[in-house]
Amino acid sequence: MDSNAQKVRAKASSYRDETADILSRIIQVPALSAKEKERIALLKSMCEKAGFDEVKVDGLGNLLARVGSGKKILAVDAHIDTVDTGDPAQWKNPPFSGLVADGLVHGRGASDQLGGAASMITAGRILKELGYAGDYTVWFAFTIMEEDCDGLCWKYLIEEEKLVPDLFVSTEPTSLRLYRGHRGRMEIECRFQGVSCHGSAPERGKSAAYMASRAALAIEKLNENLKPDTDNFLGKGTVTVSRMDVKGPSLCAVPDQGMIYLDRRLTWGETKELAVEQVKKALSEAGLSNFEVKVPYYEIPSWKGTKYGQDLYFPTWKIDADHALVRAGVAAHKALWGSEPVVDKWTFSTNGVAVCGRHKIPTIGFGPGDENQAHAPNEITRVDDLEKAAAFYATLPYALEGKL
């Protein structure tokens, strides 16, 4: 493998500037969730130019590009939608400039996670030029709607398109560390029914605003009482109120409808059912009785008009530190740069919730850019990271030969 790794490294170095230019061009075509059509078209043309064996768009709108024809499937994934820019005044450069300067690429999605997509295109090109014909069919997946609903794209690919990888790599930003898991997450909606009355005599009614407020304080207490996983790898589960709302007949009335929306992060061993029951118990212990707790359902048409949905529940996942996929990732890193990577976990959520969390397919992460750049103004990624990530993705299939 070492000789192949050095060939890959040399090619990744020679394509360094081109990889940065690819990322710059991707950034310049905005693509919010379910509005990725133009960016997918650009990426399709880029993959075709890079010489992939097969390039196609699936029924939901994900772009798939293949190298090789081995009996096993290795999938390398980048979601290509981004969040919006927020306040433009907070950006030093235009959010969609794609400026390349001083070893950095600037713009929305530079780290989260278009840098991974750019490095994937270069990796595919390298594998083709080296004539890769090993054990794996390598599918590079440029997926959609992740920012709205993590993993929905891969739930569709696995369950509807029947593209079931043997192994999976997420290119979400890891600062070039090797990641093997992260907490799951879910969204929970709590609704409260009060009794409205005129605001001049509030004692005649039952305020849903006060109910929602007591509920919010109960959730704060619940968060304090949540425990970490037994091996303390993923850490503590959390829950927080992300939105509150009350409604009534008028601004001169006691509100009769209240709502709080919860962001729940799930550590190892915590499930959707457990989290819902914890919330119900916390509300009951706060003296509330007339409430509804549910997990919302997501279903928004993709850019192709395809409707496909799921509950807003995204299972926790991890694989063992000594799993063969982790070992292969470590070996690839060592063959390329002579050192072992830091092995860790993400703080946020990725498409791994569907692939490993839901479908138990072994998954690792290795990506250019930094997690703390995600959703932030003045987002950047390093050109050095793009070069190294491309080399890693192209070396991994060789590192996996005979391992699984």
Q: Which residues are catalytic?
A: 81, 146
Do strands 257-266 and 238-247 pair parallel, antiparallel, or not at all (unpaired)?
antiparallel
- Asked whether 238 and 226 are in contact (CB, 8 A), the reply is yes
DSSP state, residue 233: S
**φ/ψ bin of 358: left (φ > 0), alpha (ψ from -120 to 50), beta (otherwise):** alpha
Measured at the alpha carbon of residue 363, what is the angle toward residues 119 and 262, in degrees to the nearest 5?
Answer: 100
CA dist., res. 117 & res. 64, Å (int)? 12
- Partners of 380 in the β-ladder: 106
Q: In terms of Cα–Cα distance, which of 23, 193, 48, 25 is closest to 114?
A: 23
CA dist., res. 345 & res. 364, Å (int)? 9
Peptide bond into 257 cis (omega under 30): no
CA dist., res. 327 & res. 341, Å (int)? 11
CA dist., res. 133 & res. 54, Å (int)? 15
CA dist., res. 123 & res. 373, Å (int)? 23
The total number of residues written for the chain in this structure:
404
CA dist., res. 25 & res. 167, Å (int)? 29
- Asked whether 338 and 373 are in contact (CB, 8 A), the reply is no
> Measured between alpha carbons, how far is residue 104 from residues 202, 218, 279, 374, 379 in Å?
59, 45, 44, 15, 10
What stretch of H or E contains 381? strand 380-382
Backbone angles phi, psi at 197, to 5 degrees: -160, 175
CA atoms within 13 A on the CB side of 182: 26
CA dist., res. 264 & res. 268, Å (int)? 13
- Asked whether 317 and 353 are in contact (CB, 8 A), the reply is yes
